Amino acid sequence: MFNLFKKQKEDRSEESKSSQENGEKEKMEKRIGEEIVIHTMPEKFRQDNLKTDKARRVGIFVMVGGVLFIIIVAFLLYFFIFKAPEEEQAPLSEKELYNPESGSEAETPADVGEEEVSPVATLEDYLGDLEEAATSTVSGEEELLATSTPAEGISLEDGDGDGLTNKEETLLGTNDGNVDSDGDTYSDYTEITNSYDPVGSGKIADNPGVGEYVNGTFGYKVLYPVNWTRTSVGGDDSVMFKSEDNQFVQIVVQPNADGQSIKDWYEEQFAAEITEPEREISGNGWSGIRNEDGSIIYLTDDNRSYLFVLSYNTGPSEIMGYKNIFAMMVKSLVIGE
């Protein structure tokens, strides 16, 4: 009996203890629940972040658009300020067109008088000018080079009387007060007309005042004064060598479509038979015919592939101030090498 009461007492003690533990556990959980606070982002802050991202994208778009706008405006300002005036500027004067220091790419006179001859771009243009001049009492080929007003600065003055003008001697570096500049017993004129250097022991091509032009398109080369301006009049088929006083030598080329001899071609073009044998000339790789005063040479290469015209133009003058230079150029012409 005593043991039974003891056991019941122990059971009540364990239940009391368990109840006490459970109460403390609940108090502990309640206290933990009160101490732990869970925070969540308010809805308005999430909306604010979305608005910020959107504003950032809009800002980037505005910046890119602004940069593009500035670039376009700058380009338009540059075009209207710098480009437009260049296109609207007045044409260059004839003096500017012929001045090698002007930096102009122009190669023909902008405005020449009716009696002045300008460079031509093709042999057809050249022959067309001859046909228009043929109605004159002067033969067509000579009228093409005829002018009426002497130009200032053109002179046939020959200080030493050797046959070369003072201007020709200046171009070649010879002494216009000495017939024989290099003292080799041959006059300057004799040496030049025989293709020798009047100031040295070599050929005329060795002269410091002489350069060589090579035309790869039509296979020819020719000597010319280096102080003269060389330009193309529309292409390699028309090349001009111009002095500082606006006289020039021009070489014009076109295909010899019918493979004619130069004599047959000349007589067909000008309806005139060549009766003077001295007008027929030849050179290295070519044969030709000159006009009466020697200012125009018509020729074809030995293969009769092309027709060439070498012409001396006096510009606004009646005086051929560089006749010996032109003769040197004609004699130096080589075709086909």
The crossing angle, in degrees rounded to 10, of helices 123-133 and 262-270 is 40
Which overall architecture, per CATH, does domain 123-149+209-335 show?
Answer: 3-Layer(aba) Sandwich (3.40)
Res 215 pLDDT > 50: yes
How many Cβ atoms from other residues are within 10 Å of residue 36's Cβ? Answer: 7
- Determine the Cα–Cα distance for residues 98 and 135; give it in Å rounded to an integer: 30
Model confidence pTM above 0.85: no
In degrees, to the nearest 5, what angle opens at C-alpha 49 toward C-alphas 46 and 50? 90
**pLDDT tens digits for range 230-277:** 999 888 999 999 999 999 999 999 999 999 999 999 999 988 888 889
Res 86 pLDDT > 50: no
- Cα-to-chain-centroid distance, residue 209: 25
pLDDT of the residue at 234: 81
CA within 13 Å, CB half, 40: 3
Strands (E), the chain: 210-215, 220-225, 229-235, 238-242, 248-255, 280-283, 286-290, 296-301, 306-313, 334-335
pLDDT band at 69 (very low <50, low <70, confident <90, very high): confident
Measured distance between the N- and C-terminal CA atoms of the chain, rounded to whole angstroms: 150
In the block, residue with structure tokens 């070599």: 202
**pLDDT tens digits for range 267-319:** 999 888 888 899 999 999 999 999 988 999 999 999 999 999 999 998 888 88
Res 28 pLDDT > 50: yes
Indicate the SS3 state at residue 133: helix
Q: Which residue from 147, 106, 166, 170 is spatially nearest to 314, judged by alpha carbons? A: 147
Average pLDDT along the chain:
76
pLDDT over 70 for what percent of the chain?
A: 62
pLDDT of the residue at 242: 95
Res 137 pLDDT > 60: no
Structure tokens at 108: 């023909």
pLDDT band at 108 (very low <50, low <70, confident <90, very high): very low
Res 177 pLDDT > 60: yes
State how far the alpha carbon of 175 is from the alpha carbons of 167, 196, 203, 243, in Å. 11, 16, 18, 20
Contacts of residue 93, Cβ cutoff 8 Å, sequence gap at least 6? 110
Contacts of residue 129, Cβ cutoff 8 Å, sequence gap at least 6? 117, 120, 144
Res 112 pLDDT > 90: no
Strand partners, 251: 239, 310
Structure tokens at 308: 């060439």
Domain ranges of the chain: 123-149+209-335, 155-204
